[in-house]
Structure 1
Amino acid sequence: MTEGKRRVVLIGGALAAVAIIVAGVLVLWPSSSEGNPGQANGTAAPAAPTTANKGPSTGQVLDSFLKALGSGDAATAAALADNPAATQEAITALHKNIPPGALAYTRATSASPAQGAKTVTAPVDAKLTVASANTWKTSVELAEVDSKWIVKWAQTVIHPKLQSGQTIAVVGKVGETGKPAVLGGDGQPIALWEGTTAKPTDPKISPLLMSTLVGGASGGGTTDTRYVAIVDAAGKEVGSDPLFGTKPTESANEAVKSTLNGKISVAAQNAVDKVSQPTMLVAIRSNGEILAVAQNAAAGSALTALNGLYQPGSSFKIVTAAAAIQQQGLTPESAVECPGEASISGRKIKNAGFDVPGANLRKAFARSCNTTFGQIASQLPADGLSKAASQFGLNADYDMPGFKTELGKVEAAGSAVQRVEDSIGQGKVQASPLGMAVVAATVAAKKPVVPTLRKDAQTQVLTGYQAPPAAVLGQVQSMMGDVVTSGTATELKRFKGVHGKTGTAETESQGDNAHGWFVGVRGDVAFAVLVKDGKTSAQAVSVTAAFLSGF
């Protein structure tokens, strides 16, 4: 080979070697500090960093720092920051006041710096879960120092509202395991603390009511009233308002004082659970203290026993009878007519397949004569029934702490036909189980009743009422006793001292799916039972029997 050819071959080999080296560098060199999503979309890739930047990428540094910050690994976080001593001190102080595992920081977007930039600020999402999830946004600045990316520490990394020497803290306490969380009306515990959760001593103690009482979700709640505040180096709260949550008005360790009765509540829940149709029961003392609120699964998770409005059917005849006594001068012994059917002011009305010859008001009430009460109502003034209903609390309005309540709605009826329908609890008359329980409690108490659920939180009376005279209520209660001994609820005769009224809300729109009611009193306990789509009052009476058997 000639010398010239040898030079050509050597030069060519050298050029090939250079090409291979350059190609290797291009393949192995990362396109950015966190990958190159732009190049994957067909956009131009940023220029490769200089060889001076030899440490982990900004994203890797930030992710490691945020993990350590959230977990309380102060030493690891400090090693990634420009001021290790201040960083470690701040994170250590932070986690003295934060429950383990409750805090988390995550970067919200890419932490890639701009081309040629020596600093980058990355947005960060923070979440602190205590009584609830509390979230905020902050940011972390990183800088290239000595060929490595490090975090520039500032107190605002923890929270943007913090100043030097401040941190955030979880303030307050939760109940001690095994200690009372909710007390019944007799002062005995009906819910105990289990960690931060209040658990009923019996799951059948008004479960929907209990979950609201203790401030949590259905099936057991929590009275964890801790909140998040900014504190100074001495641990003193900064400012009057918490950063998250609300300062409790009472200690979370102090048991809620309810009016519920454990035994009666269990009896109520067992009774409604025997029925497949949606069923509700409210029991209340004659002094207004709510003893039990029970709903079966078919009735749903909303507390409709306290605020759902339904036509009360013939149980409303308690009100119509009181109107007859007060406004028409009738007594239980007054003679009335009870034909099997009648046409009253053009409205055809009938009984449930019976008539009562030679009836008086007492017998008509016990047998639930629609024709009798329709005739009485047709002769009342337009506001006669609404005034009587107001005397039993059905147009009253209360603000019960923690609960939405609706007792009923009974308006004046402009036509005789409307009064006929209203008189038997149909037409436009509406009441809730709570409302009908208040009706029964008014009869028992012989005075107005204010429903209450907590002894440590007073019910506010927005619209009150004045009950009928005690003598009138005594006559009504006497007739309610006849319903049990010789009327439509003789299944309950075996229970001593029971007074009540059955009801079936029969409307054309419901057809066979009429609601069944029983509204009654035994001793000091008034109650209302509603079986939706029960067709008749028979199931409501059976539920009542099961309820009364339990206490």
Structure 2
Amino acid sequence: MEHNARRSKAFRSLSALVLTGLVMSSAACTPRPDTGQSVLEDFLAAVGRGDIAAASALTDYPQAAKKDLGAATEGLQAAGLSFDVGEISADGTQSSADVAMNWALPNERHWVYDTTFTLTKTESGDKGWTLRWSPASLHPQLGRNQHPELRSIPAPRPSVVGSDGAALLEPGTVHRVIVDRDAISNVQSVVNRVATIVNNEMPQPEGQPPLLDARAVGEQAADGKGNFSVIILPASAPDRVKEALAAIEGVTVNDEAAMVRPDPGFAPDLMSRVERLVDEGDMGQDGWNIVAANNDGATVGTLYEMEPKVAPAIQASISKKVQDAAQKAVDTRSDAEAMIVALQPSTGKILAVAQTEKADEKGDLALMGQFPPGSTYKIVTAAAGIQNQGLNSGSTVPCPGSMEIGPRIVTNYNGSGVGDTSLSDAFARSCNTTFGNIAHQLEPGKFKAESQQFGIGINYHIAGLDTITGSVSDGRDEVERIDAGYGQGNDLASPFGMALVSATVATGRTPTPSLVPTAGTWQSAASKPIAPEVLENLRTLMRSVVTSGTGTAIAGRGEVYAKTGEAEVNGGSHAWFTGYRDDLAFATLIVKGGGSEHAVAVTDRFFANLDEGAGAAGE
């Protein structure tokens, strides 16, 4: 195409040089051959500058030429025409000329081809030549009453796949229902009829509103004239629905290209967010062609075609198998505000965000809800003790049932205690006294800084998602510092934030979370690697929870590293469980769900769903 473009730019100058040379040689040497070339060049120059009347007047059928040339220049949206007259053969009364044509089209496109023009001599002299008109002269593949037209070839929209390779969005067709308000007398009445058909034939699940709110849409459509889009029906809409709607006076149903969901019920909120991101991304490059069209605009043939450039498939972070497994798991507690967030530690991809309908009623609790994390926060406290106080998993620490720490009396769950024990045992037993004591011994500000090493307190602007990780006190107040050690007091975190904490332990630094990785994520502070000795000890502690501590109920689900938590709040306690297995980190929360064993049970169901239906988690 670049070669053709360079060639086209040379046509004008080359033609000018040829003409100049001919004029000079005629003055100095022999007369120019009588071939009608000047008439042909005048014709082509007139077409190039859009003077169809002048060009047509140089033909043997001016009226037909004017009609055909007008249709051609309009159909091509031509900005100009360059040409190069090549070999001309003549016998005195007729000549045939080969011409290279270069049409300048919109958006710096060019259509280059070769054709042949025939001229006949009707009287003496150079101007006695007339161009024999036929659409085939303009292009050899054009027939009678045909003209060239420029058409766009839309690039197919790229498909969207999940991190597990499952198709989440595919190019397809939706059906837009349009009401012509100028063709009807009562807009509301027509909208009511549309709503009756749509809502009766396409009922929604129990508890969800109907597809079309006739009253609201009718009020919107009442003001104004012309076409009004009433509703867009999915690709799955039955033919009988489209036929019934099209039968209503003033209603049309148009098919439109769109991204469609192979599984319409899959994570609707997340998929809506992904769709918006995809709409803002690379859609490829449309192609174009030149067709031979008849007077009615119907395509007769294709004269030239430039294929569209299709953008590569877009990957979303969501894993269909992980999301499905998580949703089924939380739905076992449909009576509560239950949720699971799952991340891939190695990449930060958000694999799943699942909530029950009761949680949905409160908004994005899994991503933005702020809850005291309870004993799950002992992961961060343990890291602070290892990093700042020289502790390790085998260090001897106090774990009495009750302990006076500074101005605070700290008590373990049910007052249970074992006296002095190893840090690993204290973590597995979830001793509040141990971790309140570790936090108390930290300098003010240390605990907050430690939390940021695990992602808590860092702001993430994830394209397509709003999130809040959590926050902790600066620790200047002794009581606040003590309570923070076991996730109470002013400690707050979302399940998203706690999933990041576990992902940090799994991978050695807090990953940058994403929904559509190519869309990017901004974060308020860069993550820093956790020291290897801290990681080694944390992993030992978290594994002990599953093998011999408060999380043994999930021991049959492979090599899980985790921490349980029960956060006391007014009116009850939140049930927490967070951890990782292989390359999948998770956080499970049941708001006011009671003991942590309930969160462990939901997580166990989550891994059971993964293992039964989709192989290894996180692949």
Q: Name the TM-score class by shorter chain.
A: 0.5 to 0.7
- Aligned pair partner of 2:595 in 536, 539, 547: 536
- Aligned pair partner of 2:166 in 152, 168, 188: 188
In structure 2, distance between residues paired with 1:466 and 1:411:
21
**Contact persistence 1:206–1:292 (CA under 8 A):** no
**Residue 268 (str. 1) matches residue 326 (str. 2):** yes
Letter in 1 for 2:535: L
**Residue 207 (str. 1) matches residue 268 (str. 2):** yes
In structure 1, distance between residues paired with 2:337 and 2:310:
35
User: 2:560 maps to what in 1?
Assistant: 498
Structure 2 counterparts to residues 52-91 of structure 1, below 5 A: none
Q: Please say which of residues 269-278 and 195-204 is displaced more in the overlay.
A: 195-204
> CA separation of 1:174/1:426 partners in 2, compared to 1, >3 Å: closer, same or farther?
farther
- 2:585 is paired with a residue whose SS is strand
Structure 1 residue 342, shift from structure 2 partner: 1.9
4+ long deviations beyond 6 Å: 171-176, 221-226, 251-254
- Aligned pair partner of 1:522 in 569, 581, 586: 581
> CA separation of 1:350/1:402 partners in 2, compared to 1, >3 Å: closer, same or farther?
same
Structure 2 counterparts to residues 8-47 of structure 1, below 5 A: none
Identity of matched residues, %: 39
> CA separation of 1:412/1:487 partners in 2, compared to 1, >3 Å: closer, same or farther?
same
> CA separation of 1:203/1:273 partners in 2, compared to 1, >3 Å: closer, same or farther?
farther
**Contact persistence 1:281–1:529 (CA under 8 A):** yes
Report Cα offsets for 1:375-401 as digits up to 9, x if no partner.
111111111211110110112122111
User: 1:347 maps to what in 2?
Assistant: 408
Structure 1 residue 253, shift from structure 2 partner: 8.0
Structure 2 counterparts to residues 225-304 of structure 1, below 5 A: 255-275=313-333, 276-287=335-346, 288-300=348-360, 302-304=363-365
TM-score (norm 2): 0.53
In structure 1, distance between residues paired with 2:600 and 2:497:
18
Report Cα offsets for 1:264-299 as digits up to 9, x if no partner.
111011011110210111111112111111111010
Structure 1 residue 343, shift from structure 2 partner: 2.4
- 1:337 is paired with a residue whose SS is strand
- Aligned pair partner of 1:548 in 593, 607, 611: 607
Report Cα offsets for 1:234-254 as digits up to 9, x if no partner.
xxxxxxxxxxxxxxxxx9987
**Contact persistence 1:260–1:292 (CA under 8 A):** yes
Structure 1 residue 225, shift from structure 2 partner: 12
**Residue 450 (str. 1) matches residue 512 (str. 2):** yes
Letter in 1 for 2:332: K
Report Cα offsets for 1:195-245 as digits up to 9, x if no partner.
2464443456433211211139xxxx999999xxxxxxxxxxxxxxxxxxx
In structure 1, distance between residues paired with 2:589 and 2:310:
36
> CA separation of 1:528/1:203 partners in 2, compared to 1, >3 Å: closer, same or farther?
farther
User: 2:184 maps to what in 1?
Assistant: none
- Aligned pair partner of 1:314 in 367, 375, 385: 375
User: 1:143 maps to what in 2?
Assistant: none
In structure 1, distance between residues paired with 2:540 and 2:353:
27
**Contact persistence 1:204–1:270 (CA under 8 A):** no
> CA separation of 1:223/1:326 partners in 2, compared to 1, >3 Å: closer, same or farther?
closer
In structure 2, distance between residues paired with 1:271 and 1:543:
6
Structure 1 residue 191, shift from structure 2 partner: 2.9
- 2:520 is paired with a residue whose SS is coil
- 2:410 is paired with a residue whose SS is strand
- 1:273 is paired with a residue whose SS is helix
**Contact persistence 1:483–1:490 (CA under 8 A):** yes
- 2:332 is paired with a residue whose SS is coil
**Residue 389 (str. 1) matches residue 367 (str. 2):** no
In structure 2, distance between residues paired with 1:380 and 1:204:
49
- 2:518 is paired with a residue whose SS is coil
In structure 1, distance between residues paired with 2:412 and 2:263:
43
Structure 1 residue 465, shift from structure 2 partner: 2.6
Q: Which consecutive residues of structure 2, in runs of 5 or more, have no partner in the other structure?
A: 1-73, 75-151, 175-257, 284-308, 611-619
Structure 1 residue 411, shift from structure 2 partner: 3.1
Structure 1 residue 489, shift from structure 2 partner: 0.7
User: 2:204 maps to what in 1?
Assistant: none
User: 2:547 maps to what in 1?
Assistant: 485
**Contact persistence 2:156–2:171 (CA under 8 A):** yes
**Contact persistence 2:509–2:529 (CA under 8 A):** yes
Count of residue correspondences: 349
Report Cα offsets for 1:159-202 as digits up to 9, x if no partner.
xxxxxxxxxxxx996977xxx74211144312334524644434
**Contact persistence 2:464–2:515 (CA under 8 A):** no
Report Cα offsets for 1:65-97 as digits up to 9, x if no partner.
xxxxxxxxxxxxxxxxxxxxxxxxxxxx9xxxx
User: 1:305 maps to what in 2?
Assistant: 366
> CA separation of 1:524/1:464 partners in 2, compared to 1, >3 Å: closer, same or farther?
same
Structure 2 counterparts to residues 364-383 of structure 1, below 5 A: 364-383=426-445
- Aligned pair partner of 1:337 in 398, 409, 430: 398
TM-score (norm 1): 0.59
- 1:519 is paired with a residue whose SS is strand
More helix by share: 2
**Residue 460 (str. 1) matches residue 519 (str. 2):** no
In structure 2, distance between residues paired with 1:476 and 1:307:
26
**Contact persistence 1:320–1:373 (CA under 8 A):** yes
- 2:553 is paired with a residue whose SS is helix
**Contact persistence 1:349–1:371 (CA under 8 A):** yes
Structure 1 residue 462, shift from structure 2 partner: 2.8
**Contact persistence 1:500–1:519 (CA under 8 A):** yes
> CA separation of 1:412/1:549 partners in 2, compared to 1, >3 Å: closer, same or farther?
same
In structure 2, distance between residues paired with 1:339 and 1:186:
47
Letter in 1 for 2:320: G
> CA separation of 1:511/1:348 partners in 2, compared to 1, >3 Å: closer, same or farther?
farther
> CA separation of 1:439/1:188 partners in 2, compared to 1, >3 Å: closer, same or farther?
same
**Contact persistence 1:393–1:439 (CA under 8 A):** yes
- Aligned pair partner of 2:422 in 357, 360, 373: 360
More strand by share: 2
Letter in 2 for 1:519: T
Letter in 1 for 2:351: L
Structure 1 residue 405, shift from structure 2 partner: 1.5
Structure 1 residue 404, shift from structure 2 partner: 1.1
In structure 2, distance between residues paired with 1:349 and 1:173:
68
User: 2:305 maps to what in 1?
Assistant: none
> CA separation of 1:339/1:286 partners in 2, compared to 1, >3 Å: closer, same or farther?
same
User: 2:478 maps to what in 1?
Assistant: 416
**Contact persistence 1:484–1:500 (CA under 8 A):** yes
Report Cα offsets for 1:116-137 as digits up to 9, x if no partner.
xxxxxxxxxxxxxxxxxxxxxx
In structure 2, distance between residues paired with 1:207 and 1:296:
13
